[in-house]
Amino acid sequence: MIVHKFGGTSLGTAERIAAVAEIIAASRGDSPAVVVSALSGTTDRLIAAARAAALGDVAACQEARSWLGEKHHAVAETLLASHPECGELHALIEEHLDRLGRFIDSIAVLGELTARGHDAVASFGEKLSVAIVAATLRCRGVAAQALSATNLIVTNDQFGSAVPQMEATRQRIQEQVRPLVESGIVPIITGYVGATVDGITTTLGRSGSDFSAAIVAACLDCDELRIWTDVDGILTADPNVVPTARVLRELSYKEATRLARFGAEVLHPRTIGPIIERGIPLCILNSFNPEDEGTRIVEAPSTGRALWPAIVSATGLQLLRVQSNNGPWRLRSATAALARLDDAGIPVQMFSQSFSEQGINLVVSEQDAAHSARLLTQDSANSSPPSHSVYALDTIEQVAMVSVIGLPGDRVHGIASQAFAVLGKQGVRVVAVAQEAAEDSVTFCIPANDVGETVRFLHRELGLGNGKGSETKDAS
Ligand code: ADP
Ligand code: ASP
Ligand code: MG
């Protein structure tokens, strides 16, 4: 049994969905089960619509509704054309959009977007995509059934990053999914979502369909998990930034998790957890280039494999320089600032404090920056001690984080000092630095505009290129 997962990048257009259907059809002999994300761009639109509703921006909600309707109806029309199921699919899309509209209306009436409301709205993309993929397969002669993971993946009520309850989930997947696979029907399951034991919809976190697929794979005891995306696997850098990046053909579970945790978008950091216990191999494959062997991730990779350090970059970030407004800076000032953001559910991507500095550097996503600044500068006389709880923000700057990560078995030691030397040679402004205690990785915070050039320069100077094409080409 093979579990396949297709991300939004593989489901961008009718043509791409037809290619996905071909991959699934070709895998019929493997007893496949499939997990899919929303069509590309859909979840962003849904979340924007929910936020707009809370602010009473009716025009933005209507605009999102039209975008979603046009995109999904157009794809359905192209894929099913004159097939008898086409009308049913259009009706199902309308039904989902009407329900979505009712959720959005109630958020507008309340004037508030709760975490629960956010997840209810964000989950609609996958409801639409499973219906389209399953119908596409059926009209090509492959028996397929759309399934909602709200009936399969049982989670706690931590909306936005829910934690699955594996025993209950396993039982449901064994009862509801296995019989379909065994009778030759391909289940097409919604990624990203789950539900509490009371049936309240939750989500597993942005880009969480990889994690959903790993949960399904583990609960089915499948032979292999295949995550299909738009690049040839996990590379030494994002190939959209560095055209000469090399594919890391074999990685251990630990190495892949490490790269994902540093922000390599291609794999969600929670993916490996469910499969590691059962030793299920994971392949990252390219749906645009299905012949390529991709990256294979296993417990114990072969000893003679080729391995290089990787460079992971993250963009869309803001740096906040936080100082004490009244009185000396103490360790407690730093912990209280971090606690304020954590209590509001704002992830801090990186923070640093030097020996001499009277403050800390915090990196948060652009979307969270204004809210973080408000939380940090507002008066909070109730907190203890009050004299150290009021902060001044020195600078707010758009930044990118660039991490250079040595992988065990390769040039781990010295990788940080090599990276420092390269950045010195390039002359880029390094705004903040963070490093693990071991000398096997380093993260630089640099001005956002310099990220493409810096990653390409580091990649070339560290000798990571595949020798094909030019590393200096501006691909950003
Ligand atoms: P999907 O929609 O399939 O889940 P994602 O956008 O989440 O796809 O992940 C694929 C993207 O990850 C690629 O298009 C690439 O730009 C990015 N990426 C970032 N770092 C890496 C890396 N080291 N190797 C491969 N891809 C990477
Ligand atoms: N559709 C969800 C998102 O955009 C989940 C995913 O793509 O994996 O975050
Ligand atoms: Mg993804």
pLDDT tens per residue across span 42-59: 999 999 999 899 999 999
Shortest-distance ligand to the CA of residue 209: 2
Contact 282, 256 (CB under 8 A): yes
As a whole number, mean pLDDT of residues 380-392 equals: 55
Minimum CA distance residue for ligand 1 atom 10: 266
Q: How far is CA 28 from CA 33, 34, 100, 137, in A?
A: 10, 11, 34, 11
320-368 pLDDT, tens digit each: 998 887 778 888 888 988 988 888 778 898 988 876 778 889 999 987 8
How would residue 386 be classed by pLDDT, with cut points 50, 70 and 90?
Answer: very low
- pLDDT at site 474: 41
Contact 173, 214 (CB under 8 A): no
Mutation probe of ligand 1 site: the residue of 20, 42, 229 with most atoms within 8 A of C-beta: 229
Residues in contact with 167: Cβ distance below 8 Å, sequence separation at least 6, in sequence order = none
Contact 106, 64 (CB under 8 A): no
Q: Which residues pair with 49 in a beta bridge?
A: none
Encoding tokens for residue 46? 């849904």
Of the candidates 136, 112, 126, 8, the residue with the CA atom closest to the CA atom of residue 53:
112
Q: How far is CA 235 from CA 84, 232, 255, in A?
A: 43, 8, 12
Q: How far is CA 30 from CA 20, 25, 185, 286, in A?
A: 16, 10, 12, 19
186 burial type by CB count under 10 A (0-12 exposed, 13-18 middle, 19+ buried) = buried
Tell me the CA–centroid distance for residue 237 and ligand 1, in Å.
10
Write out residues with Cβ below 6 Å of ligand 2: 7-8, 37-38, 43, 125, 191-192, 206-209
Pairing of strands 201-203, 193-195: antiparallel
142-165 pLDDT, tens digit each: 999 999 999 999 999 999 999 999
Ordered structural domains, the chain, with CATH: 2-229 (3.40.1160.10), 311-461 (3.30.2130.10)
Shortest-distance ligand to the CA of residue 405: 1
| Range 59-65 contact pairs with CB under 8 angstroms and sequence separation of 24 or more | 61/104, 61/108, 65/97, 65/100, 65/101, 65/104
User: What number does the ligand 2 atom closest to the CA of 43 have?
Assistant: 4
Give yes or no for residue 240 CB within 6 A of ligand 1.
yes
Give yes or no for residue 311 CB within 6 A of ligand 1.
no
Tell me the CA–centroid distance for residue 269 and ligand 3, in Å.
10
